[in-house]
Amino acid sequence: MGVTGANAECEAQFAGSHACHITELQSAAEASELAGIEDIDGATVTSFWAIDPARSNVDQCGVTVPWDYQTAHTGQFADVVTLNNDTGELGAVTENNGCFQQRWVGCCSGSPTQQVFTATCNLADDSELNLVTSIITLPLVPTGQFSVSCAGRAGATSGLDADLSCTCDVDHFDSAAIPGIGDVCIEPSSPCEARSASCDGSTGADVVVEADHNIGECTSTADCASRCDTHCGDLGAGFFNKASTCEDLCLGGPNDGEMCIFDSECPDGSCGGRDGGQDGQICECVCAQTGAGGGTTGSLACGLGVAITIELDADQICGNTPPGIVLMPLCAELTTGMANGVILNSGNEPGRNIGPSTLTGDKGSCSDLASGSVSGTTFVGHLPFFGSAIGDLLVETVFACE
């Protein structure tokens, strides 16, 4: 279903083709190739599914069952663009359309002409990394760099696509010392799903992260994931399950899914929740919403895969001693727009929250990005962690680029 099904149908009808991305349709419109077009049955085409690889799968009708029906509670939506068939002009892309509606898919041959624009963010002195607990905030000044890579077409009428597909990757972060506790070490983790840079201001870049330490009991990892899917969908359009954990069950390794109370019971993995099984089998859930808010020209969002550990020797050197605190690898949803974050029921105590926290970034421009610079740009975001040795943590990131 979704884009996968559209690609399969294009291949079946026109060998070697794929479902056209919105940028390819926009190029065709600029070249006056859409006026008067008809589908394979001779019907007049008046709209398209706006396929965008930078958008979340749930915004591209990425259903996992071979049917859908007229309700929004499944959390699956689509982007759509209208076509003036007489003039061949496309309208603005609209979001949050139902997947049960009928639209057209264009089939394009070859691949869109794309170029990858890469820039490096060297962290400036006013960057921040704040570890916020329910009791205290531990402020740090991070140093290091990460890369920003955005893919889009060069040579369109506007010079660049309306939206570029962007990813971020850790290059190197220096250790950051917490007095009396140890060294915070940040390493790269798995690549994250692409997000967008809005070159024409048509796409929002704000990010919301809402984590809840306890959304109810769970019987398995899959059960917790399903409950988190539903919980996030109930928060509103665009929210998705970013991470979920059923406490007191092994995560990964040969004992994956088996009951545990200590990490040592889960070789090559970890035990969900705090060591000692203090909370029972409850479901931790992290929901996120990306691409929110009104569009701003030049705004940029990306996911930065990070693995954070804390070494307790406090010698400002990472990697020379086993970590005393290991936080689950996560994708930090970064944005140059506005980021909102909160942890509800912190420490599994009803009504005890960390946050809400609001951070505001500084945007650059797509032309600067195309020339290999993100200087003056500030990325902000939140990373929630449950059950660390110092309790639940909401990590505030403010990465200012020199």
**β-pairing, 338-344 with 206-212?**
parallel
pLDDT of residue 169: 92
Residue 106: how many CA atoms within 13 Å on its side-chain side?
Answer: 27
254 burial (CB, 10 Å; 0-12 / 13-18 / 19+) is exposed
Per-residue model confidence as pLDDT tens digits over 187-226: 888 888 888 888 777 778 899 999 999 999 999 999 999 9
The predicted model gives 152-175 an average pLDDT of: 69
Specify the residue for token string 């020199």. 402
The DSSP secondary structure of 334-396, one letter per residue, reads EESSEEEEEEESGGG-TT--EEEEEEE-B---HHHHHTT--TT-EEEEEEEEEEETTEEEEEE
What does pLDDT average to over the chain? 85
Which residue, 309, 344, 342, is CA-closest to 323? 309
Per-residue model confidence as pLDDT tens digits over 191-201: 888 888 887 77
For the record, the structure tokens of 309 come out as 């550990």
pLDDT of residue 231: 98
C-alpha distances in Å from residue 150, one per residue of 170, 195, 278, 343, 370? 15, 9, 44, 31, 9
The DSSP secondary structure of 204-253, one letter per residue, reads --EEEEEEES-SSB-SSHHHHHHHHHHHHHHH-TTEEEEEEEETTBEESS
Rounded-to-integer distance, Cα 186 and Cα 288, Å: 22
3-state helix, strand, coil in the chain (%, to 5): 10, 45, 45
Which residue, 119, 114, 238, is CA-closest to 167? 119
Q: What are phi and psi of 342, to 5 degrees?
A: -160, 150
The predicted model gives 122-142 an average pLDDT of: 93
Rounded-to-integer distance, Cα 272 and Cα 105, Å: 43
Element (H, E) at 5: helix 2-13
Per-residue model confidence as pLDDT tens digits over 28-69: 998 899 999 999 999 999 999 998 765 666 677 765 444 444
**β-pairing, 330-335 with 299-311?**
antiparallel
For the record, the structure tokens of 170 come out as 């850790």
pLDDT of residue 395: 93
pLDDT of residue 71: 46
Which residue, 220, 221, 214, 235, is CA-closest to 343? 214
Rounded-to-integer distance, Cα 253 and Cα 148, Å: 32
Helix, coil or strand: residue 141:
coil
pLDDT of residue 70: 45
The pTM (predicted TM-score) of the whole model is 0.69
- Partner residues linked to 286 by β-bridges: 211, 243
Rounded-to-integer distance, Cα 261 and Cα 388, Å: 14
Rounded-to-integer distance, Cα 145 and Cα 156, Å: 31
Q: Confirm if 41 and 7 have CB atoms less than 8 A apart.
A: no
Whether cis (ω within 30° of 0) applies to the bond prior to 179 is no
Q: Kindly report which listed range (11-20, 137-146, 175-184) carries the lowest average pLDDT score.
A: 175-184
